[in-house]
Amino acid sequence: MNARRGGLLVAGTTSDAGKSLVTAGICRWLARQGVRVAPYKAQNMSNNSMVCPDGSEIGRAQWVQAMAAGVVPEAAMNPVLLKPGSDRTSHIVLRGRPYGTLRAGQYAGGRQVLAEAAFEALADLRSRFDAVICEGAGSPAEINLRAGDYVNMGLARHADLPVVVVADVDRGGSLAAMYGTLALLEPADQRLLVGFVVNKFRGDVDVLRPGLDRIAELTGRPVLGVLPWLDGVWIDSEDALAVGGWAAGAHGDDPQCAGHGAHPAGRNGSRQTLSVAVVRFPRVSNATDVDALACEPGVTVTLTADPDVVAAADLVVLPGSRATVADLDWMRRRGLDHAVAARADGGRPVLGICGGYQMLAQRIVDPIESGQTVDGLGLLPTEVTFGAAKMLGRPLGSWRGHDVHAYEIHHGIATLHDDPARMTRADADGLRPRVGGSAHSTGSYEEFLDGFRAGSVWGTTWHGAFENDGFRRAWLTEVAETIGHGWRPSAAAPGFAAQRELMLDHLADAVAQHLDTAALLTLIESGVPDGLPLVRPSTG
């Protein structure tokens, strides 16, 4: 790598075109070449986040990209994180710390402080790393947002970054999207767009070649390669409802992530399939917690809002939520509260994580997010109180002799109504509000990580706990034994972190094999070439 600090911006024709994946792949590929590389995204809008070793909060995608680059994740890699709290407001995390609230009317303008923080973070990274691979957001052709943009072409213009645009060929219209993205940009932005990458291609690339040649002819920019559809490869999603990639069957039958539909030997086989239903909250947060469950052989995971699916599953998970009270109300309106309560009555496992754990409480006092005090589902002996301060941390603990490394991101604090060691079944029933006309008893209580277990109901604030292989497998074994299920972990299955490493290596292999890496290196080292033609129509 030249002495000049290199950089590249990976943009996309649409959201979910594969920007995060391509960025991670380039980071891993560069790291293999001995380049000290860092990922960067100026602004992320996501409720899937991670706590870095320094205690700062960034988007999960940038955390995985840092893993791909082989560097320690830090706040500068995602200086602005917007966490949607409603359809019209987002909570701002600036430089890894809570900063305030951004309302819909402020989105296109009034964000100068955020832009300055983003530019400073990029300059900082470029001063310390050989190359910074930046990820855009949405599409650079969202010209209605261009005036206040500091994530796509605004960032590229500020830092004089070459821009490569990724197109998702699987969803169709990719050729028009590539041309149209360039044509909609004003001349000064067009100058920075240097090429295209086609993503998620299935079939014979020669069939696509005439169209790519025509795009290169019309735009004066090369198509730098065609990445195939990659089974078994996922990047922790920015979209709170696009859990991991397994939810859409992206893992297929690839052994790198075998949980989604893998090894279903049947109820009479030596391994029985353990079914997990994850409640699909409208404002779900950190749903990546269940990725490790989905990658466990013999475990199938389904996102659902159907009470019948919740009733039938072997295990139900209430994941995190950015708006606990609102999502609890949504559960009740759909009848999901009755399905969960019936499971508890029948001794069938329920797990709540963070916001889902808070919903299991006797009462929720929330002057911060909703301004309400409401009854919880009453399945754990806790009361939750929301405070203004956000709790960020990387706790360590253990369960049944298994070490657990996790992270926490929450405003709600759960406290006991009473000492669980002294609480009788009758006392528990007396504490619990009625759900659907009947009181629910959970019997004895015990600590579970930083939360509690009451009968078949488990709750914890900790995210990422199930990425710990020993703990995950021991806990799933206990869940299976509780309901007389035959599932047991496979001793030969790789651990979750090992699967992620295999995935990132597989992704880097695809970059090396299918992209013009020599051209990418030249762009990263030397910047934008001169003489790129203007494409009409443009705003100039």
- Rounded to an integer, what distance in angstroms lies between the CA atom of residue 16 and that of residue 294? 21
pLDDT band at 398 (very low <50, low <70, confident <90, very high): very high
pLDDT of residue 86: 64
Q: What is the pLDDT of residues 142-196, one digit of tens each?
A: 999 899 899 999 999 999 999 999 999 998 899 999 999 999 999 999 999 999 9
Tokens representing residue 113 in the block: 């402080």
pLDDT of residue 287: 87
> What CATH class is the domain 270-487?
alpha beta
- Rounded to an integer, what distance in angstroms lies between the CA atom of residue 101 and that of residue 111? 11
pLDDT of residue 44: 92
Q: What is the pLDDT of residues 431-490, one digit of tens each?
A: 333 233 223 334 478 999 999 999 999 999 999 999 999 999 999 999 999 999 999 999
Using a cut of 0.85, tell me whether the model's pTM lies above it: yes
- Rounded to an integer, what distance in angstroms lies between the CA atom of residue 238 and that of residue 240? 6
- Whether pLDDT at 256 is above 60: no
Domains of the chain, by residue range, sit at 6-233, 270-487
- Whether pLDDT at 406 is above 80: yes
pLDDT of residue 257: 53
Cis peptide bond upstream of 162, omega within 30? no
Q: What is the pLDDT of residues 105-151, one digit of tens each?
A: 555 455 789 999 999 999 999 999 999 999 999 999 999 989 989 99
Catalytic residue at 52?
Answer: no
Q: What is the pLDDT of residues 325-363, one digit of tens each?
A: 999 999 999 999 999 999 999 999 999 999 999 999 999
Mean pLDDT of 195-224: 96
Q: Output the CATH code of domain 6-233.
A: 3.40.50.300
pLDDT of residue 264: 30
pLDDT of residue 272: 79
Contact 162, 523 (CB under 8 A): yes
pLDDT of residue 439: 31
CB-count burial class (<10 Å; 0-12, 13-18, 19+) for 416: middle
pLDDT band at 89 (very low <50, low <70, confident <90, very high): confident
- Whether pLDDT at 243 is above 70: no
Element (H, E) at 130: none
Contact 309, 253 (CB under 8 A): no
Q: What is the pLDDT of residues 375-390, one digit of tens each?
A: 999 999 999 999 988 8
Closest CA relative to residue 317, chosen from 296, 343, 295, 283: 343
Catalytic residue at 134?
Answer: no
DSSP 27-74: HHHHHHTT--EEEE-SEEE-S-EEE-TTS-EEEHHHHHHHHHHTS---
- Whether pLDDT at 503 is above 90: yes
Q: Which of 134, 354, 410, 411 is catalytic?
A: 354
- Rounded to an integer, what distance in angstroms lies between the CA atom of residue 499 and that of residue 535? 43
Q: At 332, is the secondary structure helix, strand, or coil? A: helix
- Rounded to an integer, what distance in angstroms lies between the CA atom of residue 398 and that of residue 102? 38
pLDDT of residue 454: 95
CA atoms within 13 A on the CB side of 407: 21
- Whether pLDDT at 51 is above 80: yes
- Whether pLDDT at 422 is above 50: no
Contact 344, 457 (CB under 8 A): yes
97-103 and 274-279: which strand pairing? unpaired
- Rounded to an integer, what distance in angstroms lies between the CA atom of residue 224 and that of residue 406? 39
Q: Which of 338, 440, 463, 514 is catalytic?
A: 463
Least confidently predicted of 41-50, 80-89, 206-215, 435-444: 435-444
- Rounded to an integer, what distance in angstroms lies between the CA atom of residue 524 and that of residue 345? 60
Q: What is the CA radius of gyration of the chain?
A: 24
